[in-house]
Structure 1
Amino acid sequence: MGKLLFSLFVLMPIVEIALLIEVGEQIGGWPTIGLVILTAAIGAALVRQQGVATLMQARRKMDNGQLPGQEMLEGLMLAVSGVLLLTPGFVTDALGLFLVLPFSRPVIARWLMKRAVVAGSTTQTSGFYQYQQRGDQGSTFEGEYEVKRDGRDPKLPPDNR
């Protein structure tokens, strides 16, 4: 974990700055800045469009009584890709674009879900899914209740009888 944090906060900015300088030398300073702003704008639009599509897909799964685990993970990936695309630099833009594309994101999400399964458990038998299944069997109880107060609890208002 320490090496990952080191690379994220020390090496990545160095790589980004070196690449920005190199591109700036090739095409000029203002075109480089324009290119960084353009990738941020295109990335934001892509994240928004893909986010709505992922939300609709999750909604369809929930309407069918399924847990939208992959869609939730894809939504998290879209949030990460949005941050990467808005961060100035070409390496972060490439990573963010890779996470936002509709043909690469589901593949990565499925791979991550397979790696995240703990000790043979599956997402189909999680507590939420089992609760949904029990709820579908018609476990509704009807009845009446009465609140009785004896005035000893200061948090409850006095009985108005």
Structure 2
Amino acid sequence: MLRLILILFLLAVPIAEIAVFMMVGEAIGVLPTIALVIITAVIGAYLLKQQGLQAFQRLQDDIRERRVPAASIGHALTIAIAGVLLLTPGFITDTVGFLLFIPAVREGLWRSITRSVKVYRVDPATGGGGPGWPGPEPTRRTIDLDQGDYGPSNPNTPWKGSGGQ
């Protein structure tokens, strides 16, 4: 079923774009239509650069401050998709791309996605979530040994079995 929907979508979008191109071309002419497509691509490239750098900065800030960067990654991904849509010729894709560059639209989209997704951060040092982080608490302690801490070469190892070494 999902495959059928995807195929129909991949067929419907180009057909709709062609129809809109024909209507806009008939209304304003061929050259202004082509100029409009080029202008939206240039504006899209500018917005992608500007907002993409801001999204990258937010991602770095989240990592530096040890916050889960899920929202920053979601916004950066949405901005990248918006840029691709604006660089793709077509008025429908341009409209969706411009909408995705609006922070309130991205935030609403992110909220709708996060309703069904739970993000956990696991602290590699403890194996569990850190303070204030959702996630599983550590259930066991990890002991990291060097090669010299075990085996026949170390008679003082605390890991001797009841039968000794």
- Class of the TM-score when normalised by the shorter of the 2 chains: 0.7 to 0.9
1:130 to 97, 111, 122: 122
CA distance in 2, matches of 1:75, 1:4: 27
Which has more helix, going by share of residues?
A: 1
**Which letter maps to 2:63?**
M
Runs of 4 or more above 2 Å deviation: 132-137
Is residue 50 from structure 1 mapped to residue 51 from structure 2 by the alignment?
yes
Structure 1 counterpart SS, 2:67: coil
Match of 1:109 in 2: 110
CA distance in 2, matches of 1:35, 1:16: 14
TM-score, with structure 1 as normaliser: 0.73
CA distance in 1, matches of 2:8, 2:86: 18
Match of 1:64 in 2: 65
Equivalenced residues, count: 134
CA distance in 2, matches of 1:133, 1:61: 19
- Superposition RMSD on alpha carbons, in Å? 2.5
- Report the CA distance between 1:110 and its aligned residue: 2.1
Unaligned runs of 5+ in 1: 146-161
CA distance in 1, matches of 2:86, 2:8: 18
TM-score, with structure 2 as normaliser: 0.71
Unaligned runs of 5+ in 2: 132-141, 149-165
Match of 2:33 in 1: 32
**Which letter maps to 1:7?**
L
CA distance in 1, matches of 2:124, 2:31: 56
**Which letter maps to 2:122?**
Q
Residues 104 and 31 of structure 1: is their aligned pair in 2 closer, same or farther, counting only changes over 3 Å? Answer: same
Residues 82 and 4 of structure 1: is their aligned pair in 2 closer, same or farther, counting only changes over 3 Å? Answer: farther
Match of 1:91 in 2: 92
